[in-house]
């Protein structure tokens, strides 16, 4: 009669689960390399604001300017575009295709402070820059503080005490 003793390992099941998940992702990645992935992609966007504008910078290298569409409707800006696969080289000659091709669409809600009549878009070095001007009433106003008779009366009260 032989007895079999195993050491308790509380992380054994977790490690096995991680191995299964890793294999699942590895199998799906291998399937993706067999064909060209021409599904949609999501270009990264930076959005920042200063006192006069809200600016969107969209990273869209390899997309022709004519393939970009920017629209504002109901306080929402929508940017659409398409990166087309170059047909110059036969698909079977490629060893690896990692760049994404196809169409994309990004939409962002806009605050009421944006003036939809004053929007500009520039495209240079693969970066689309959309500048949305703020309405005049939304821009910060600096109020100058005047030192007048009120300030003098406070000083004189302080000296009298």
Burial of 57: CB neighbours in 10 Å, binned 0-12, 13-18, 19+: middle
Give the H/E segment covering residue 121: strand 114-124
pLDDT value for 4: 66
Domains of the chain: which residue ranges?
45-138
pLDDT along the chain (161 residues), means of 10: 65 76 65 48 90 94 91 92 74 72 89 91 95 82 76 49 45
Answer yes or no: CATH 2.60.40.790 is held by domain 45-138: yes
pLDDT value for 33: 44
pLDDT value for 40: 65
pLDDT value for 145: 87
88 token code pair: 């110059």
pLDDT value for 152: 52
pLDDT value for 88: 61
First and final C-alpha spacing in the chain: 104
6 token code pair: 């195993």
Q: How far apart are CA 110 and CA 104, in angstroms?
A: 20
Q: How far apart are CA 84 and CA 153, in angstroms?
A: 74
Q: How far apart are CA 67 and CA 80, in angstroms?
A: 8
Q: How far apart are CA 66 and CA 29, in angstroms?
A: 33
pLDDT value for 34: 42
């Amino acid at each position: 009669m032989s007895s079999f003793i195993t050491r308790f390992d509380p992380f054994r099941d977790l490690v096995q689960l991680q191995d299964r998940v890793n294999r699942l992702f590895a199998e799906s990645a291998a399937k993706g390399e067999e064909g060209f992935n021409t599904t949609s992609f999501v270009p990264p966007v930076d959005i920042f604001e200063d006192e006069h504008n809200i600016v969107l910078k969209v990273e869209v290298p390899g997309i022709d300017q004519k393939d970009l569409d920017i629209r504002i409707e109901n306080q929402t800006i929508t940017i659409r575009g398409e990166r087309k696969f170059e047909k110059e080289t036969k698909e079977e000659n490629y060893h690896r295709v990692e760049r994404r091709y196809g169409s994309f669409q990004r939409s962002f809600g806009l605050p009421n402070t944006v003036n939809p009549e004053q929007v500009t878009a520039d495209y240079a070095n693969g970066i689309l820059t959309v500048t949305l001007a703020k309405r005049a009433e939304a821009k910060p106003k600096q109020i100058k503080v005047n030192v007048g008779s009120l300030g003098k009366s406070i000083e004189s009260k302080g000296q009298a005490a």
